[in-house]
Amino acid sequence: MTATDRPAGARSIDEILAAARQRLTRLRPRQAFREHRDGALLVDIRPAAQRAAEGAVPGALTIERNVLEWRLDPASNARLPQVDGYDMRVIVICSEGYTSSLAAAALHDVGLTRSTDVIGGFRAWAAAGLPTVAEQPEP
Give the pLDDT of residue 136. Answer: 61
Note the pLDDT tens digit of each residue in 9-56: 999 999 999 999 999 999 999 999 999 999 999 999 999 999 999 999
Dump pLDDT digits (tens) for 41-51. Answer: 999 999 999 99
Q: Is the pLDDT of residue 139 over 70?
A: no
Kindly report, residue by residue over 68-106, the tens digit of the pLDDT.
999 999 999 999 999 999 999 999 999 999 999 999 999
Average pLDDT of the residues of the chain: 94
Q: Does residue 1 register a pLDDT over 90?
A: no
Domain 24-127, what architecture? 3-Layer(aba) Sandwich (3.40)
Alpha-helix residue ranges (DSSP H) falling in the chain: 13-22, 29-37, 48-54, 68-72, 99-109, 121-127
